[in-house]
Structure 1
Amino acid sequence: MIRGSRSLTVRVLLLATLWSALSLVTIAVVISTLYRQGVERGFNNLLRAQLSNVINSVSIGDGNSLSGSPELGDLRFSQPETGWYWLVEPLGNFAAAPLASTSLGMAELSVPSLEEVPFDEHYERFYPMTDSVGNNLLVAETEVVLDGGDRAARFRVSGNLEVVEEEVSFFSTRLYLSLAVFGLGGLLVNGLAILYGLKPLDRARRALEKIRGGEAERIVGDYPREIEPLANEINALIDSNRRIVERARMQVGNLAHSLKTPIAVLLNEARGLDKTHGDVVRSQAEAMQAQVSTYLNRARIAAQRDSVLARCDAEPALERLVRVMRRLNPQIDIVLEVAPGLAFAMEQQDVEETVGNLLENAARFAKARIVVSAAPTAQGPEGTGEGARRGWVEVSVEDDGPGLAPDQIGEALKRGKRLDESKPGTGLGLSIVKEISSEYQGSFGLSRAAIGGLKATLVLPAVTRDTA
């Protein structure tokens, strides 16, 4: 999930959240474990101290009996079934009645074997057990010689482990609550810190959007030390792009100028030749002129294709073309429908040449109506896969003329091919439109129009702003 996320902010927040959660859970477990160990160690020390008090309070009295009344200062040793008991039992040949706390009553405390629980180096042993009422106990036990006659007794003191569990539970609940509050607060602070730290990247992204949208030419502003080299490199790339485009334009212009005069001379000389030879020279010179124009346009388009500097607002450009066609063809109703905010990622002269050729062709065959529309489309040219990476504009020009049969559409797109010789033209318009759209990685097609005639559809690159 983290690797698939395209947002740097989300990635950092997820990693920070996972690390914080893992750290806090580990801290909670470690602290809770250490606290439990401390409470258990304190509980053992308490039982050891109580055991010492019982030992110091019991002796052999008259009649060889055990005597003594330990005062342990805890009322639980006098209340029944509390789990807090003390018991003194004679050992060996010492025949005497045992002594026990009031809380023990008639209950008995079982004694594990030495193999199960041996004495430690202090001749003490601790073992858990369960009394007759279900209390979980911890018992501290030792054996003490009471006099010079080697008469001995077993001393045992038990405590209810519920005290340990309640203490640990009380502490753990507040620990987890405190860590949860701290974790949420830390996550909020981390989120604000990350958002603040990544703010310069967001400013750089907005600056790039302005460049792509034609609102700026460079990334400007102060950026942190880590981002400033990137901004400088992007500005250098833009400057290099601009120089390449200008140099290509200059070379195209120079080539066009250098070839214009020789071709014009050839055409002029062809007029002085006899008809047979003159027609041959003139047709070849015109073909040269058309080819030079085509390939110069291709070179110019290739030089600035995909450039962030290429931009043409759709609405004013199309309105200008339609206005001219209305003046030239007042008898035709030309309707223009353009979605607001559209902009082509193309040079203005290429937009005017492609759409202008389509308008001229429609006006040549239309009876009374032409509809021109431009709208964004999410579907890029078929087979290019570009639709997922850039925006596109679909421009359509429809007329109410005779239209074309399906088998005529392929012929109409061939260079110099004219299906209706009665109409003026060179037959180059549609092929030029197809070539220019192809150079921009767009597409061009012909189909039947809804108003009865021919529909020409162009899919051209659009200026888009990255929102990711």
Structure 2
Amino acid sequence: MENKARRSPSLTFRVLFLASLWAAVALVVIAVVISTLYRQSAEKSFRDLLRAQLYNVINTVSAGENTRLAGTPQLGDLRFFQPQSGWYWIVEPIGGALEGEALTSSSLGTGSIPIPDTDSIPFDTRYERFYTTVDSFGNEVEVVETEVVLDDEGRTARFRVVGNRDVLEQDIDDFSGSLYLALLGFGIGSLLLNAAAILIGLRPLDRARKALEKIRAGESEQLDGEFPREILPLASEVNALIDSNRRIVERARMQVGNLAHSLKTPIAVLLNESRLIPAPQGELVKTQADAMQSQVQSYLNRARIAAQRESVLARTEAQPVLERLVRVMRRLNAERQFPLSVDPPGLVLAMEQQDIEETVGNLLENAARYARTSVSVKAYAAPADMRGSDDARRSWIVIEVEDDGPGLEPDQIREAMKRGKRLDESKPGTGLGLSIVSEIASEYQGTFGLSRGPRGGLLARLVLPAVTKDVA
């Protein structure tokens, strides 16, 4: 159960994770969409710029009287004058009507531009075509091309304006970098605000959890506090369930208590009458009556434990009770030592004082009966591997009673734990002591076990609930 609770994912974590994942995916999609749209817009603007420069070249070039191309385009851009810049204009004569060489910008120099044929990249409806190529200087360039009839005699020239795509890519990269940085800051801010909103929104659930833990710890009898409309029905149902369970437990406790009380008087009569019956019949009747009385008392104790556990959790400081028990045992067994250790001081058990006295007292009586020289008693906070419940959030205290007697073998330990079983018939007792100890520990959701101690004697270990000082 503990492992299952640890593996169970947190609702807060799941909501935060899903919200963060959605925000991250949304921001990535937004970044890709905006970058794509900006690239499309930038490429269109770049082509519009080249088209405008193309029209400027067309307006400044004509067919001269000597059948040669004439004109000196001034595009107002210094890049068309810088050698190998990737920004060029070219005017070539077509057919035999024009003679002479092509006109080119000074930036092209002796370089050249690879020209694809019109079959692979045809002219559009405006009789223009755009294509990307690499000039002889290694620049990736965008080319806009058209053909224009210069005069009435049909003399035609092919016009090209070339722009360096590095400018376009640099502009897109700058924009993308700024966009990603802005979205990153926005995303981090959104995640923080999301986390704050989720944590604040789920705070009522945390209050409900703390209220439930207070009920479990015995500090409250119902879910108290103000809850939002979404949680209020749940809180009301839980309170109704707690009330119903309390009534059921109370009714069962009363029935067990009534039955046990109704048996006490007949048992007392049997005990009195057994004294008048000659042995061995009288002794047999007395022994059985004692056993019945112990069992009745045991069920009364269990009913009382169930009742107090359903209301307010009992609190008993361990050290004063243990010191009082040890003091009594020292008086009754002056020939034996009873060292006591409580570490750390101030341990508080979540039990009734009467139940602590009955459990530890039984263990001390058994240990003193078989010990040679000493019986040690230790109380300490339980480590993680000694907890008596699946609820890892609860605190536990270990009480160990060890004697230096002959001890018991594993099969003898199993027999000793059985109700009414006595391994040594020569010593007084009903054989119910260890069984009662086990039952009381179980009622408090703790554990009880026997083993061979380091000194060779019997080691009895109780793991009992402690008072949790801070309810998480």
| 2:176 is equivalent to residue 167 of structure 1 | no
Distance (Å, rounded) in 1 between the aligned partners of 2:275 and 2:337: 41
Q: Secondary structure at the match of 1:19?
A: helix
Taking only the aligned residue pairs, the percentage that are identical comes to 63
Give the corresponding residue for 2:157. 153
Does the CA contact (< 8 Å) of 1:212 and 1:464 recur in 2?
Answer: no
Q: Which moved more, 1:267-276 or 1:333-342?
A: 267-276
Q: Secondary structure at the match of 2:339?
A: strand
Does the CA contact (< 8 Å) of 1:128 and 1:137 recur in 2?
Answer: yes
Q: Report the AA paired with residue 263 of structure 1.
A: I
- Unaligned 5+ segments in structure 1 are none
Q: Secondary structure at the match of 1:138?
A: strand
Q: Secondary structure at the match of 2:459?
A: strand
Give the corresponding residue for 1:21. 24
The superposition leaves residues 343-401 of structure 1 with CA deviations (integer Å, 9 ceiling, x where unpaired) of 555554433322111122223344553321123132358xx984868654332112344
The superposition leaves residues 51-84 of structure 1 with CA deviations (integer Å, 9 ceiling, x where unpaired) of 1111121222212222122221112222221111
Choose the corresponding residue for 2:383, options 377, 380, 384. Answer: 377
Gap change, CA 1:428 and 1:108, over 3 Å in 2: closer
The superposition leaves residues 277-304 of structure 1 with CA deviations (integer Å, 9 ceiling, x where unpaired) of 6555545444443444445555666x56
* Structure 1 residue 270 displacement after superposition: 4.5
| 2:368 is equivalent to residue 363 of structure 1 | yes
* Structure 1 residue 115 displacement after superposition: 1.0
Does the CA contact (< 8 Å) of 1:305 and 1:440 recur in 2?
Answer: no
Give the corresponding residue for 2:11. 8
Give the corresponding residue for 2:185. 181
| 2:45 is equivalent to residue 42 of structure 1 | yes
Distance (Å, rounded) in 2 between the aligned partners of 1:419 and 1:85: 112
Q: Which moved more, 1:353-362 or 1:204-213?
A: 204-213
Q: Secondary structure at the match of 1:456?
A: strand
Instruction: State how many pairs are aligned.
Output: 463
Give the corresponding residue for 1:84. 87
* Structure 1 residue 136 displacement after superposition: 1.1
- Taking the TM superposition and a 5 Å limit, the aligned residue runs for 1:278-427 are 278=282, 281-295=285-299, 297=301, 303=306, 309-313=312-316, 315=318, 316-326=320-330, 328-329=332-333, 332-340=336-344, 342-344=347-349, 346-366=351-371, 368-375=373-380, 376-380=382-386, 386=390, 392-401=396-405, 403-404=407-408, 408-420=412-424, 423-427=427-431
* Structure 1 residue 455 displacement after superposition: 2.3
Q: Report the AA paired with residue 372 of structure 1.
A: V
* Structure 1 residue 443 displacement after superposition: 4.1
- Taking the TM superposition and a 5 Å limit, the aligned residue runs for 1:207-286 are 207-271=211-275, 278=282, 281-286=285-290
The superposition leaves residues 160-211 of structure 1 with CA deviations (integer Å, 9 ceiling, x where unpaired) of 1111011111111111111111112222222222232233333333333444
Q: Which moved more, 1:321-330 or 1:5-14?
A: 321-330
The superposition leaves residues 81-134 of structure 1 with CA deviations (integer Å, 9 ceiling, x where unpaired) of 111111111112213122222222222333211111001011111111111111
Distance (Å, rounded) in 2 between the aligned partners of 1:324 and 1:216: 37
Does the CA contact (< 8 Å) of 1:252 and 1:300 recur in 2?
Answer: no
* Structure 1 residue 37 displacement after superposition: 0.9
Gap change, CA 1:432 and 1:95, over 3 Å in 2: same
Gap change, CA 1:176 and 1:229, over 3 Å in 2: same
Q: Report the AA paired with residue 176 of structure 1.
A: Y
Q: Secondary structure at the match of 1:126?
A: strand
Give the corresponding residue for 2:113. 109
Q: Which moved more, 1:136-145 or 1:368-377?
A: 368-377
Does the CA contact (< 8 Å) of 1:446 and 1:455 recur in 2?
Answer: yes
* Structure 1 residue 157 displacement after superposition: 1.0
Q: Report the AA paired with residue 357 of structure 1.
A: N
Q: Report the AA paired with residue 374 of structure 1.
A: A
TM-score by length of 1: 0.85
| 2:143 is equivalent to residue 139 of structure 1 | yes
Q: Secondary structure at the match of 2:338?
A: strand
Distance (Å, rounded) in 2 between the aligned partners of 1:275 and 1:16: 82
Does the CA contact (< 8 Å) of 2:257 and 2:303 recur in 1?
Answer: no
TM-score by length of 2: 0.85
Q: Secondary structure at the match of 1:104?
A: coil
Q: Report the AA paired with residue 87 of structure 1.
A: I
